[in-house]
Structure 1
Amino acid sequence: MTHALQVLGHEPVMLTQVVAGLCIKTDGTYLDGTFGRGGHARAVLARLGPQGRLLVMDRDPEAIASAQREFAGDARVAVRHGNFADMADWPSALAGLDGVMLDLGVSSPQLDDAGRGFSFQGDGPLDMRMDPTRGLSVAQWLAQAGEMEISDVLWRHGEERMSRRIAKAIVEQRRERPLVTTRELADLVIRAIGRREPHKHPATRTFQALRIHINDELGSLQAGLAAAARCLRPGGRLAVISFHSLEDRIVKNFIRGEVARAPRRGLPLPPVAPAPLLAVGHAIQADAAEVARNPRARSAVLRIACKRAEAA
């Protein structure tokens, strides 16, 4: 582990595998679309020469402020506040990238800060927005969403089998007083469905589902993969770390070129264009030693892809 990472007390998930998968060129241009604490970005930057460039994006204003402070004196680094789904709107990215790195889901700083509302481990406002300057918080959405809509979100994004029971409890609760804190929601879920699974908090799936929904994480991922494929130069590499099956399925299917096509009544399906990316090896998971050091790596899946020359 590098000195910088030791100072921060944080180990990026599958750092060695990501760096190897990106095949970093010293004069290349690379984009980290999920800066977080910057572990992957620093490892890429350490391998770039004077002509190399690192582009940094994150939806979280706090992560962007951190990146701006850290890299203010490095002309090789450019920082942009925004969703990686919009990377193709950044002229520096659209000019051509040799690699794109995405570390999906919620970051450690977001989880550690009870004030962001991502975790039921501490009590805080029921927010969960990756960008607190935009959109509705979870508390605001739950105060106005219909019971069936809430149930559908919990089922689709959390695979929560008790989604209807939880949604009903939320609607009944808000008739008296809306939910406004993470502890209130976690306690409500426990009352609604009990403790079913050993070593797993009953609200885990509910919190995951609401976070994914409020941030449109799956929609952003689909748009971001398409944008990455557009911005990558032929031979450029894409590295994506997913933390649950919903994300990984989208990444796997995109790399395979399995994009859903709606049938048109009375007309044949349009021809399928060749997939712009080619999978590099198989899905990679952290080894036992890394999981022991960093429990967050337990559910991580890394996929590497390369842009085909004919897709340029």
Structure 2
Amino acid sequence: MSVMIKNVGIVGAGQMGCGIAHVCSLAGYKVTLYDLSKERIEASLATINGNMARQVTNGKMGDDERKTALSYITGSTDVQDLASMDLVIEAATEDENVKRKIFGQICPVLKPEALLATNTSSLSITRLAAATDRPEQFMGIHFMNPVPVMKLVELVRGIATGEKTFETAKDFVRSLDKTITVAEDFPAFIVNRILLPMINEAIYTLYEGVGSVEAIDTAMKLGANHPMGPLQLADFIGLDTCLSIMQVLHDGLADSKYRPCPLLVKYVEAGWLGRKSGRGFYDYRGEVPVPTR
């Protein structure tokens, strides 16, 4: 038995929120993209339009489909606009305090039967659920980046998540033409529990001088058949996000193998966060990315 979902609210018009809005509107859901910043919403809508236009060019959808999907998305800076939503997905930055604050603001506005989900990539669903007024109707729906391209969604139940909520989330994700993997509520779930220590190890390999940025990325691309080298991938994810996930693993599992590499910490302290800030393990300010070490 699952709940009927027609209207989806998305909190946070960043990279992830933008991608989630894209796939939800294509699947025929009415989407309200909520953010405090009007500029971020406008930038997000422009990105979605551009990404859909590219899908039209590649023959993945028709132009009428694009226009219809875009007409399903409304941007809003007014939290009251979430009142009619059946499902709200929080896609804010990977910071527990920020997420708790958001739940405190949006929960009083939501209708009692509305489901609430978080797109967290590493934080405890049980703990986040406890910060809401509806732990039974709360769960993790973790999309992969870039959302329109990546097929996987991790579903994570907290200790209080109800069966009805879980069934509804499964139906919802399937309707987006995504593949589900169910993970238990432990730090970083499945994908990042395996992926981030690999990236962290690649940074240690650089830190210890075993190989250069280029050598490490080439080795993993051609030696392990990875589509992108681990340092290139770290820049794509954002080094601040990589660091926060490693810290969640280190704090939550108390095992020294999850210790964030000091070089990763140094890059984040420098504000070199990867692609989004123009510099990380590569410098993106010129025509082609150049290794920074």
Pair in the same fold by TM > 0.5: no
Rg (Cα) greater in structure: 1
Greater RCO, 1 or 2 (C-alpha within 8 Å, sep 6+): 1
Give the TM-score, by structure 1 length: 0.34
Question: TM-score, normalized by length of structure 2?
Answer: 0.36
